[in-house]
Amino acid sequence: MSDTRQAELDDLLAAEPVPTRRPTVPALEEALYKVHPVLDHGFVRLIDYMGDDAAIVQAARVSYGKGTKTARNDRGLLRYLLRHRHTTPFEMCEIKLHVKLPIFVARQWIRHRTANVNEYSARYSILDKEFYVPAPEHLAAQSQNNRQGRDQVLAGAEANHVLELLRRDAVQTYETYDYLLNDDGKGEPADADRSMLARELARMNLPVNYYTQWYWKIDLHNLLHFLSLRMDDHAQYEIRVYGEVIGELVQKWVPTVWEAFMDFRVGGAFFSAKELEIIKKALDKDIVDQLLPESDLSMREKRAFRKTLDVPKT
Amino acid sequence: MSDTRQAELDDLLAAEPVPTRRPTVPALEEALYKVHPVLDHGFVRLIDYMGDDAAIVQAARVSYGKGTKTARNDRGLLRYLLRHRHTTPFEMCEIKLHVKLPIFVARQWIRHRTANVNEYSARYSILDKEFYVPAPEHLAAQSQNNRQGRDQVLAGAEANHVLELLRRDAVQTYETYDYLLNDDGKGEPADADRSMLARELARMNLPVNYYTQWYWKIDLHNLLHFLSLRMDDHAQYEIRVYGEVIGELVQKWVPTVWEAFMDFRVGGAFFSAKELEIIKKALDKDIVDQLLPESDLSMREKRAFRKTLDVPKT
Amino acid sequence: MSDTRQAELDDLLAAEPVPTRRPTVPALEEALYKVHPVLDHGFVRLIDYMGDDAAIVQAARVSYGKGTKTARNDRGLLRYLLRHRHTTPFEMCEIKLHVKLPIFVARQWIRHRTANVNEYSARYSILDKEFYVPAPEHLAAQSQNNRQGRDQVLAGAEANHVLELLRRDAVQTYETYDYLLNDDGKGEPADADRSMLARELARMNLPVNYYTQWYWKIDLHNLLHFLSLRMDDHAQYEIRVYGEVIGELVQKWVPTVWEAFMDFRVGGAFFSAKELEIIKKALDKDIVDQLLPESDLSMREKRAFRKTLDVPKT
Amino acid sequence: MSDTRQAELDDLLAAEPVPTRRPTVPALEEALYKVHPVLDHGFVRLIDYMGDDAAIVQAARVSYGKGTKTARNDRGLLRYLLRHRHTTPFEMCEIKLHVKLPIFVARQWIRHRTANVNEYSARYSILDKEFYVPAPEHLAAQSQNNRQGRDQVLAGAEANHVLELLRRDAVQTYETYDYLLNDDGKGEPADADRSMLARELARMNLPVNYYTQWYWKIDLHNLLHFLSLRMDDHAQYEIRVYGEVIGELVQKWVPTVWEAFMDFRVGGAFFSAKELEIIKKALDKDIVDQLLPESDLSMREKRAFRKTLDVPKT
C-alpha cells in the first residue's frame, strides 16, 4: 500500500466519530480501518458495513407482516431463517473490505461472482516488490490421496532449499520487471538511453505469488457462502487464513447469525438418501427418546428430527 | 397464446430435423415444442436446450486436466460433483422453456434471479380472458399450524360457493378490462363514442389469477436449485406442478444428473451440529459395520460417512 | 403497514443518534426512516445507506494506486468514471429502501435482478385493503402511435365512470378475499360455520392495483441504471414517480455523482454510425472552433469531441 | 491441452452429425470444435451454441404478443431492440467456448461476472510449459499520455533484449516449478530422494504470462457487452485479439444482430448534455434536411434524430 493511501486511512482512523441514526455495531466500529495482518504481507481491513442482526430480523418481518402474531423472539427467527435457507433477509447486510492478497489467492477468490470488486491495476500502476513465501510450517508435500491436498511438511535442508528457490525467482523476476519498466519513480526513464516498456506488458513477468489488493464488497448471505467454502478444510491454506480473519469480523458484526451459522452450516452434515437409510436402521430409538428432550433443540426442530429419522414419539 | 404464435411453433414442430454436431439428446428432441399442460390453462413447452450429461463431464475434465490420471467413470464423476456442490460444471448446460402461468405463480417464480426472461407485456398487448380456478380437490383451508400451509380440502356446497365467487370476480374484472380497453380487436374503438383507456392502465383491474406467459432460460445448476425449492412439499401447489413437469424434462435431458440430484439433494437431509451429536450417541456401530459394506456407497463415501459419524472401521 | 411496524420505525426515527466512524451524509441522515409519499397509498422510505461521493473516489484510487501522480481532483475523477462507464467504483455504495407500491409496478421493478428484495408475503399474511386508482389527470387514453404509450387524458363523466369501475371492482374483489379468508383478525374464523380458505389461495382474487411492499437494497451503479430507465419518458407514469422520489434521495446522497449522471446519462444522447456521418457532414466547423474553447468541457473531453466528429484543431 | 483432451475433441469433430429440431446455424456448425489460434499458444474453440437471429425475434414477439399487429420485419425488430437496449431477447442466445489464454488476460476477462466458467486447476493438475511472449511488433513502450496505453514499438537490439529476458525468466521459473513438483509424469517422484511439493504451492512460482484454459459460457447480450469493451481501442492488445476472433464467430452466428451491433454500438458515439448543445448550435439544418431523406435510417430513427437535435421538419 502506498504511503499516501496509508495516510488517508490513518486519517479516517483518527477522525472523530460523527452521529448517525443508522444501525451501528460498537464492536465493529472498533475494528474499522485497522489492519488485520494475514500471511507475510497481506491484510484484511474493514472499510464499511451496513446492518446488523436486528436489520435482518426487521427485513424478515416485512415478509411476514401481520401474520407474525406470536412474538417469536429475534434469535429464534434468525436461527430459523438460516437453517431453512431463507436467504433473502441475510442479503440485507453488506460489508466492505480492503484486502491485500497474493495473486493466486485472488484468482480463487474472484470466482465468487456476487460481489463488488475494485482491484489495483498493474496496467496503470506499478506493483510493489512484495511476494508471498510460505512459512516453513506450511511448506507441505503433495498429498497422494487427494490431488488438491497437502501431505506432511517438508523439513530441514529440503525446506530451506525450496524457500530459497521461491525467493530467488521472485527477486529475479521483479528485477526484470523493474528493468523493463525503467521508471525512476516519477514516471521518467531511470536510464534515459532505454525505452520504458508498457506497464501492461512488463507485469506479465511477475509470478502469481506477488501481492495485489482490492476493495471487496459483498452481502452477508453471499459472504457466509464464501466462508463456508473457504474456511473449510478442503480450501487451500493460503485462502483459509483470510476466511478465518473475515470470520472473526463477522462474529463481531452479527453474533447471533454467526452462532447459527456455526450450528447449522459449519458444524452440521448432509446425508444422502442412501446414507439416511443406514442411519435409520442403525439408530437406537430409545437413546433418541432419552437424549432429545434434554437437548436444546427447539420444539419445531425436535419434530422435524423425529420425522426425518422415523423415530415417532413414544 | 395467440393463433399466430401457436402456428409458428407448430411450424417448428412440423419442420424436418436438420443435422448438427452439437450434443443432442434424442429423448428431449421428442419433447421439443410440444405443450405439456399444467393447471387449467397453463403449460410448459421446451424451446431449446444446450448440453447433456457428457457435456458436464467434459467441462469438469477441463478443470482437472492431466491430473485425472485414473479414468474415474463419468457417472461417478457426476455424482461426486453434485454431492460436493462443485456447481460450475452444471452451469455448462442450459434450457429454454415457454411457460404459461398465473400471475401469482409468476411472482414467486421470478424471484429466481439467475435466469433470462421475456414476459408477455400487458402494457403493449391485451391479455387473454384466461384465469386460474383451482380444481375442487385443491381448494384447501388455511393451515392452523403453518401460516404458509394448507389444511383439509373444502367440500360440497362450501367449495362450490368459493369457486363460484372466484369465477364471478374473474369474469367481472375482465369485463371491466375489456370495457376500458374499448378495443375492437383491430386496435380501433369498439364503441366510437368512448375513449380507449391506455393498456398499461386498464390491466391494473385484473386479478393475479390471470395467466401470463414467458420465455424462461436458465442453466442446469440454477434450475436444480429452483426445482429443489419448488418441487418441495413446502412450495405452493400451484408452482409445484410446474416444478414436476420441468423435472420430467430434466430427467430425460440429463438422466445421470437427475439420479444424483434425487439421491443427494431431494432425498437427503441435513443435520445441525447438535443433531449430529444425538445421532452419534444413538448410533449402533455394529449395525453400521454390517450395513455399510453391503451398501452401494462409493469407497470415498463410506470413508466420509464413518468419519462424520465417528464410526472407525473395526 | 401494520401499526406495530410503523411504531418500530418511529422508534428508530426518535432514537438518539450514535457515533460512527463510517462515511456519513448529514443530508441523508435527515431523510432516514421518513415516509416519502408516492401515488395514493405508496411510499419510499430510506432505511440505510453505505458510502458517499468520497467512498467512490477512494475505491477508484485503489485501482490506480501509485499511478495517480497528478492529483486529479475528486469531482473530475467521478465525472471521468461515470462518463466512461468505469462502473465498479459506483458499486461500492449501497442503499436500502422500504417501498410500498402497486403489484403491477412491483412486477416491472423486480425485473432489475441485481438487487436484494424482501417482499411482503400474501401466502403468509393478509393484504391490507389498499389499492391504487389513478388521479384523474393521469387517466390517459391509449396512444395510437406507441403501443406502450398514453395519449390525451380522459375527462368529465367518462373519467368518472372509469374511476368508478376501477373502485367498484377493487372493493368487490377485496370483499370476496375477506370473505374467503374468513379471518376475525386474530387468526380465528369470523364465521365459525365456514372454513377459512388458505391465504395463498384467497389472494389470487386480488387485482394487480393492490399494494404490496418490500425492502429493496441495491448498489449505486445498478440504481443509476434503474433510474436511467425508470425516470425516462418511456417509463410508465406509475413507476416513474417512484424513480423521481428515489432520484431526490440519490441527489442528497452523492451530489457530485448525480450531477455527472444528469450530464452524461440523462441529458446526453447516443448516435449510430450512420447518424454520426450525417452530423459530421452537417457540422459547421467554424462554429465548433468558436464554441468549444468557451465551453466548460475538460481538455480531455474537447480532444475526444474533435476526434469523434472530425473537427481538427485549426 | 493434453493429448487425451485433444483426441476427445477430435472425436467430436469427426463424428457424424445427428438430426435436431433445434435452431441450427450451418455457418457455425462448420466452426464447431475447430481451433482458432490466438497469440503464440492460445486459441478459441467453439463448443456449443443455442439460438440464432430468429430465436431472438421469437422471444421478443412473446413480449409484444397480439399487440404486434403490423408485421414489422425481423431485421427491423432486431435493430430496434439493439438500439433501444431492450436487452432481454438477446439473453435468449447462449454460446460456449473453450479458450486458452495467458493468466494476465484471464484476470481481465473474469471480471465479466455474468458468465459460466470452468478453469483448468493448477491446484489439481500440472500446467504445461507454455508462456506468452509478445511478437516484436507488439512490444510497445509505455505511453506518456495515457497510463493504460502503449506508445511506439521497441526495435532492434533493445527489443531482442526484452524478449530474451522474458523468455529467460519464464524458462527459469518453470524449471523451478518442475523441480518443486518432482513429478515423473505418472504422479511418482522423479527424484526419489526428494519430496514432491504440493501442486497448489509449486504453481505460485509461475508468472502471469503462463497459459491457462477454460470453458466459458455466456449469453449473447453479455457477450456483446464484453466485445464492446474488449474489441475497443482502449483494451489491451492481448485481450483484444481474443475479442476479434470471438467477434468473427458471432458474425457467423447472428449476422443481423452483428450488423446492428456495428451500427449502433461499435460505430456510434455518445454525447453529453453539454456536447449536445454545441452540436445543436453548430449544425447546419439545411444540410440535415438534405441528407436525412436520402439516408437509410428508418422513419422512427429520422423522427428521433430531428427531435434530439432540434431540427424540425421544414
Distance from CA of C183 to the nearest CA of B (A): 10
Interface contact flag, D199 A147, Cβ < 8 Å:
yes
- CA proximity to B264, closest of B303, B291, B297, B307: B297
Half-sphere exposure of C101 (CA within 13 A, CB side): 25
Distance of CA C246 to the CA centre of its chain: 5
Q: In chain B, which residues have their Cβ closer than 8 Å to the Cβ of A276?
A: 267-269
Position A71 pLDDT exceeds 70: no
Question: Which SS3 state, helix, strand or coil, does residue D313 take?
Answer: coil
Which candidate, B139, B237, B168, places its Cα nearest to that of C195?
B139
Residue B237 class from Cβ within 10 Å (0-12 exposed, 13-18 middle, 19+ buried)?
A: middle
Say yes or no for a CB contact (<8 Å) between B278 and A272.
no
> Hey, what's the cell of A165?
528457490
Looking at residue B137, the DSSP 8-state letter turns out to be: G
Distance CA A179, CA A196 (A): 9
What band does A67 get if pLDDT is binned at 50, 70 and 90?
Answer: very low
Nearest CB neighbour to C291, from listed D64, D262, D281: D281
Pull the grid cell for residue A289.
Answer: 427418546
- Give the helix ranges, DSSP H, for chain C: 3-14, 26-31, 53-64, 74-83, 103-109, 156-181, 199-202, 220-230, 237-253, 255-261, 273-282, 285-294, 299-308
Q: Note whether A291 contacts B282, CB cutoff 8 Å.
A: yes
Residue A269 is nearest to which of B83, B147, B276, comparing CB atoms?
A: B276
Cβ separation C204–B200 shorter than 8 A: no
Residue C313 has a pLDDT of 85
Residues of chain A with CATH 3.30.1360.170: 3-131+209-266
Q: In Å, how far is A13's CA from the nearest CA of chain B?
A: 38
- What pLDDT does A64 receive? 77
- Give the position of cell 506468452: D132
Whether the Cβ atoms of residue C216 and residue C97 lie closer than 8 Å to each other: yes
Q: Is the pLDDT of residue C262 over 70?
A: yes
The overall average pLDDT reported for chain B is 92
Q: Can you tell me whether residue A140 is helix, strand or coil? A: strand
Yes or no: say if B219 and C201 are a contact pair by the CB < 8 Å rule.
no
Cα nearest neighbour of D128 on chain B: B66
A313 has a pLDDT exceeding 70: yes
- How sure is the predictor about C144, in pLDDT bands with cuts at 50, 70 and 90? confident
Are B284 and A288 in contact (CB < 8 Å)? no
Chain A residue numbers with beta carbons less than 8 Å from the beta carbon of B288 are: 278, 282
- Say which residue the cell 456407497 belongs to: B297
Distance of CA B185 to the CA centre of its chain: 34
Rounded Cα distance, D75 and B271, in Å: 56
Q: For residue A70, what pLDDT is reported?
A: 47
DSSP state of D121: -
Q: Which residues in chain C are closer than 8 Å to A118, comparing Cβ atoms?
A: 59-60, 62-63, 88-89, 92
Q: How high is the pLDDT of residue A63? A: 82
Known catalytic residues of C?
230
Supply the ipTM of this predicted assembly: 0.93
- The domain defined by B3-132+210-266 folds into Gyrase A; domain 2 (3.30.1360)
Contact A166 D176 (CB under 8 A): yes
Give the Å distances, CA to CA, from C145 to B288, C142, C150, D183: 75, 9, 9, 72
Cα separation, C258 vs C256, whole angstroms: 5
Whether residue A63 and residue C21 make contact (CB cut-off 8 A), yes or no, is no
Instruction: State the maximum Cα–Cα separation within chain B, in Å, rounded to a whole number.
Output: 91
What pLDDT band is residue B206 in, cutting at 50, 70 and 90? very high
Residue C163: enclosing H or E segment and its boundaries?
Answer: helix C156-181
Give the list of residues 6+ apart from residue A296 with CB closer than 8 angstroms, or none. B274
pLDDT in tens, D4-56: 566 777 777 788 899 999 999 999 999 999 999 999 999 999 999 999 999 99
Cell of D227: 466485445
Interchain pair B22, D20: CB under 8 A: yes
Q: Which three cell numbers stand for residue C26?
A: 448529514
Q: At A16, list the grid cell.
A: 472523530
Touching A: which chains, 3+ CB pairs < 8 A? B, C, D
The pTM assigned to this predicted structure is 0.95
DSSP A265: I
In CATH, A3-131+209-266 is 3.30.1360.170? yes
Provide the β-strand partners of residue A38: A42
Which H or E run contains A219?
A: strand A211-219
For the cut 60, the answer to whether the pLDDT of residue C71 exceeds it is no
> What is the tens place of the pLDDT at every residue in C175-215?
999 999 999 998 899 999 999 999 999 999 999 999 999 99
Mean pLDDT, residues B249-253 taken together: 98
pLDDT at A302: 93
Work out the average pLDDT over A115-128: 95
- Are C283 and D282 in contact (CB < 8 Å)? yes
User: Mind listing the pLDDT tens digit for each residue in D176-220?
Assistant: 999 999 999 988 999 999 999 999 999 999 999 999 999 999 999
Which residues in chain A have their CB less than 8 angstroms from residue D107's CB? 103, 107
Which pLDDT band, with edges at 50, 70 and 90, does C67 fall under? very low
Inter-chain CB proximity B197 and C123 less than 8 Å: no
Among the partner residues B123, B166, B205, nearest to C166 by beta-carbon distance: B205
Q: Is D307 exposed, middle or buried (0-12, 13-18, 19+ CB in 10 A)?
A: exposed
pLDDT digits (tens, 9 = 90+) for A200-252: 999 999 999 999 999 999 999 999 999 999 999 889 999 999 999 999 999 99
pLDDT of residue B63: 82
Find the residue in D nearest to A167 (Cα).
D205
Question: In chain A, which residues have their Cβ closer than 8 Å to the Cβ of D150?
Answer: 198, 200-201
Using the beta-carbon criterion (under 8 Å), do C21 and A33 form an inter-chain contact? yes
CA-based nearest distance A203→chain D, Å: 8
Q: What is the DSSP string of A159-206?
A: HHHHHHHHHHHHHHHHHHHHHHHTB-SSSSBSSTTS--B-HHHHGGGS
Distance in angstroms (rounded) separating the CA atoms of residues B248 and C238: 41
* Collapsed DSSP state (helix, strand, coil) of residue D309: coil
Q: How far apart are the first and last CA of chain B?
A: 65
**Among D45, D199, D203, D230, the one annotated catalytic:** D230
| Cα angle C252, C257, C260; round to 5 | 125
Distance from C-alpha of D68 to C-alpha of D50, rounded to nearest angstrom: 25
3-class state of residue A247 by DSSP: helix
**Region of poorest pLDDT, from B18-22, B213-217, D2-6:** D2-6
If pLDDT is split at 50, 70 and 90, which confidence band does C155 have? confident
Task: Take residue C95 and report the three cell numbers written for it.
Answer: 442503499
For residue C23, list chain A residues with Cβ-Cβ distance below 8 A. 48
Among partner residues B148, B198, B204, which is closest to C209 by beta-carbon distance?
B204
Question: Active-site residue among A194, A230, A300, A303?
Answer: A230
- Among D18, D62, D64, select the one facing B213 at the smallest CB separation: D62
- According to the model, what pLDDT value does residue D71 have? 47
What was the pLDDT predicted at A2?
54
The three grid cell numbers given for residue D134, joined into one nine-digit string: 509478445
Residues of chain B with pLDDT > 70, as a percent, come to 95
Q: Which chain A residue's Cα is nearest to B294?
A: A278
Is residue D2 very low, low, confident or very high in pLDDT (cuts 50, 70, 90)? low
φ, ψ for residue C207, nearest 5 deg: -70, 165
Kindly report the nearest CA distance between residue C170 and chain B, in angstroms.
7
Q: Chain B residues with CB inside 8 Å of C139's CB?
A: 197, 201
Please tell me which of the candidates D64, D274, D282 has its beta carbon nearest to residue C263: D274
Tell me the CA distances in angstroms from D288 to B229, B272, C305, D145, D312, one per residue in order. 59, 73, 20, 36, 10
What average pLDDT is seen over chain D? 92
Q: What is the pLDDT of residues C112-124, one digit of tens each?
A: 999 999 999 999 9
Residues in chain A: 314
Confidence band for B10, pLDDT divided at 50, 70 and 90:
confident
Q: Which of A148, A151, A200, A240 to mutate to test the interface with D (most CBs of D within 10 A)?
A: A200
Contact flag B263-A272 (C-beta cutoff 8 Å): yes
D298 or C165: which carries more pLDDT confidence? C165
Looking at this protein, which amino acid is placed at residue C202?
A
Residue of B nearest to A83 (CA): B272
Q: Is the pLDDT of residue C35 over 60?
A: yes
How many A/B residue pairs have CB atoms within 8 Å?
A: 103
A288-300 residue pLDDT tens = 999 999 998 988 8
Q: Where are the alpha helices (DSSP H) in D44-185?
A: 53-64, 74-83, 103-109, 156-181
Q: B29 contacts in D (CB within 8 Å)? A: 19-22
Over chain A, what is the mean pLDDT? 92
Q: Which of C150, C181, C208 sits opposite B206 (nearest CB)?
A: C208
Query: Stretch B119-139: mean pLDDT, rounded?
Result: 95
- Closest listed residue to residue A62, CA positions, set A94, A22, A89: A89
pLDDT at residue D70, rounded to an integer? 46
Shortest CA gap B270–chain A (Å)? 4
CATH match for D3-132+211-266 among 2.10.25.10, 3.30.1360.170, 3.40.50.300, 2.40.50.320: 3.30.1360.170
Which pLDDT belongs to residue D117?
97
Give D55's contacts in chain B (Cβ within 8 Å).
48
Determine what percent of chain B is predicted with pLDDT higher than 90.
82
Contact predicate D125/B101, CB 8 Å: no
pLDDT at C13: 78
**Using 50, 70 and 90 to split pLDDT, how confident is the model at C4?**
low
For the segment D265-305, what is each residue's pLDDT rounded down to a tens digit? Answer: 999 999 999 999 999 999 999 999 999 999 989 888 899 99
pLDDT (0 to 100) of residue A72: 63
Contacting residues for D180 by C-beta, under 8 A, at least 6 apart? A162, A165, D197, D201, D202, D205
**pLDDT-derived band of residue D67, with 50, 70 and 90 as boundaries?**
very low
